[in-house]
Chains A and B, each alone.
Chain A
Amino acid sequence: MGLWFLKVFSGVALYVFVGLHLMAHHPGGDLLDYEGVVAYISQPRAFILETLFLLTVLVHSMLGVRAIILDLGLQPAQERKVNLFVFLLGAVLFVYAFILTFSVAFL
C-alpha cells in the first residue's frame, strides 16, 4: 500500500516536473539547441529541478515496471529478485543520467 501511495504521489509530482521540463526545453513546441540546454541546466535551481525530475520519473516508472512484472504472479523468492532488479536498474539509470547532466552543466 505504501508503494501504491508513492506511485500516486510521484505521478502527481510528475505533472509539475513534466510541465516545467517541457516549458524549459521545448519553448513554443521547438527544441533547445546545445547552447540553450547548457545555459539552462547550468543554473543551480534548474539543475536541482531536473535532478528531482529524474529521481521522480525513475521512482514512478520503476514502480510501474515492478507492478507489471508482479502481475505475472511470481513466487515470493522471485518477487524479491524483481524488487532488487528494479531498484538496481533505477539506481544505475539515476547515476548515469546524473553524472552526464552534471558534467555537461558544470565541468
Chain B
Amino acid sequence: MRKRILPQALKGTTGISEGSVARFLKWFDVRHRGVGFWAFSLNRITGMVLVGYLFVHFTALTNLARGPDAYNAFVDRMKRPPFIYLDVALVGVLVFHGLNGLRISLTGLGVATSWQKELLWAVLVVGTVLTAGAAYLLLF
C-alpha cells in the first residue's frame, strides 16, 4: 500500500503533488546510490543549512543596529559554547558546499568529468584539513 506523505491541506492548492514530495525526499534516500548522488544530496542539504544560517546571520546585523551594548553582548555569547562549536560545524558545512560546488560546476562545464570520484575525495580531504584548521583557530 502506498504511503501518504503529503498533508491533505496542501493538495490541490499548491501545485505540489505526492509525487513531487516523494521526488524531493529521494535526496535523503542514498541507499543503492553512487558516490555522485551522495555528493549531490549533501550539496543540497548543506545549501539549505547555509540559507538557514544566512537568516541567523541577519540577526547579528540587527544587533549591530541596536548599538554597542546589544552587539558586544551578542558577540560575547557567540564566543562561548555551544555557539562556538556550532561555528566550527558551520565552517565544515561552508567549506564542503564551496569545494563540492566547484567540483559540480567543473563537471557541469565538461571539465574533468572522468575524475569526478577523485575530485570528490579531494574535496573531502581538503575540506577536512581546512575545517580542522578553522577549528584550531576558533577553539584554541
Contact = CB atoms under 8 A, between A and B. Distances in A.
Contacts of B79: 30-31
Range for the number of chain A residues in contact with chain B: 35 or more
Most buried by A among B15, B68, B78, B79: B15
Contacts of A71: 23-24
A30 B118 CA distance: 34
Q: Is the interface of B mostly helix, strand, loop or mixed?
A: helix
Contacts of A11: 98, 101-102, 105
B138 A8 contact: no
A78 B14 contact: yes
A31 B137 contact: no
Contacts of A30: 79
B120 to A, nearest CB: 17
Interface of A: 4, 8, 11-12, 14-15, 18, 28-35, 37, 57, 61, 64-65, 68, 71-75, 77-78, 93, 96-97, 100-101, 103-104
Interface of B: 14-17, 19-21, 23-24, 44, 47-48, 50-51, 54, 58, 61-62, 64-65, 67-68, 71-72, 75, 78-79, 94, 98, 101-102, 105, 108-109, 134, 137-138
